[in-house]
Structure 1
Amino acid sequence: GDDIFTRLVEADPGREAELYAAAVDTLLHLQSAPPPEGLPNLSAEDWARAAGFAPDWYAFAATGTRPDATAFQAALSEALRTHADGARVLILRDFHAENLLWLPGRAGLARVGLLDFQLGQLGQPGYDLVSLLQDARRDVSPATEAVMIARFAAASHADPAAFAAHCATLGAQRALRILGVFARLCLVGGKTRYLPLIPRVWGQLQQNLAHPALAELRAVCDDLLPAPTPDLLQKIEDQCPPTPIP
């Protein structure tokens, strides 16, 4: 039970491609089955509102005020409607290396054990793929990320260019939400351990916003959200309660 993907790749980075390919194949298998009935099914506007944690908490932590997020919501909603609002599949939402367990005594897809899937809902095919490849807690090699996106797109018969825009849009939404969540965990709960993760998530956000399909959203984010410089992260930490709240 100790073979969490994160630990295995830390011990042997050469296994990253093998393990991530198995994870992608598991994800494709999960999405090929009819999803359970009664799962939440959010609209593009709902997903955009979830990303509102970025202006509401990250920008607030950085500037002391909550900016008008009208243009932010409009730009993100439009991007989601255009590039990530197709047929729904089952998504687990926390599909990343710390929630994947390697079970070498099994064969095929059964070698990948899944943890922490209680937030499962309906969503877009690329969401869990982006969650896996743009991990807030570890850097996935660019080569592995590119190969796994191509693997997923080929297996799902997706147009590569459209799928790239799809993943960039979902990745931007996810990174924006996480930036805000981490800032809130610090400001409200005193959980400063999340602050060192913010620069990685910021880098993932910038990578996604560099896609031409997200030019409008990028311009809005550039206006609203400052980069997490060391001084800014220290400013956020200084606002945190001294004793973490469980």
Structure 2
Amino acid sequence: MFEQLQQFQQQFADHPVAQRKINAALATYLGLAQRQLPDDPLPALSFSVHQLVNQPALMALETLLADFRQALITTYGIWHLPNNRWLDDLHDFVAGRPVLEIMAGNGVISHGLRARGDDVVATDNFVWSGQDNQRPDPWTPVIPCAADQALRIYPHAVVIMSWAPDTDNSDLAVLQTLRQARFAGDFIVIGEKMQATNSPAFWATAQLSVPPLLNQHHHSFDNIHDQVYLVK
């Protein structure tokens, strides 16, 4: 990915639109190697049909950038890509309350919140290890623990669940556990409704709202249009 982006950077040196996309992807890819997140949301990495028709040479770059998220998954084990502006918003929303992140993966969100002084417990059962990404490489300590078990063990006023798998109903079990406990805090879910993330049963059951604060710096950069939801 890195070498190909560099080649396109040279090929489209006089194309400002392509340069902006390439430079954002390059900076993000290199930054993640140093465990540094982008400061701002990535721009949309795709081109319009009009741009592709008028400049067919962009097609190869379009194809490469369409695989950017998959490159982040296989290289860094990152499915959901936060940015620092969004983490600032999330920190403001948390407002000092104890946070439990379930299905935390490599703990990128928890890492960002801890760097901002938040009290966070990060958990994951790591069943995804050896699938798209061969081994976990957490950015911050992540406790091996299933989501429903973590809800019963660790104190929390805010629960965060990002990019839950669409292959089982573990997300629905989390929602049912919170409802049975009459959870009065905030359950934050990051995902694409009825598409790339979470189970259909979860989306059919969840009562969703879209808080402006948590979405103002959370933008899609590819064809997966995930959002940040508050769920009841």
Both structures adopt the same fold (TM-score exceeding 0.5): no
Higher strand share: 2
In proportion to residue count, which structure has more helix? 1
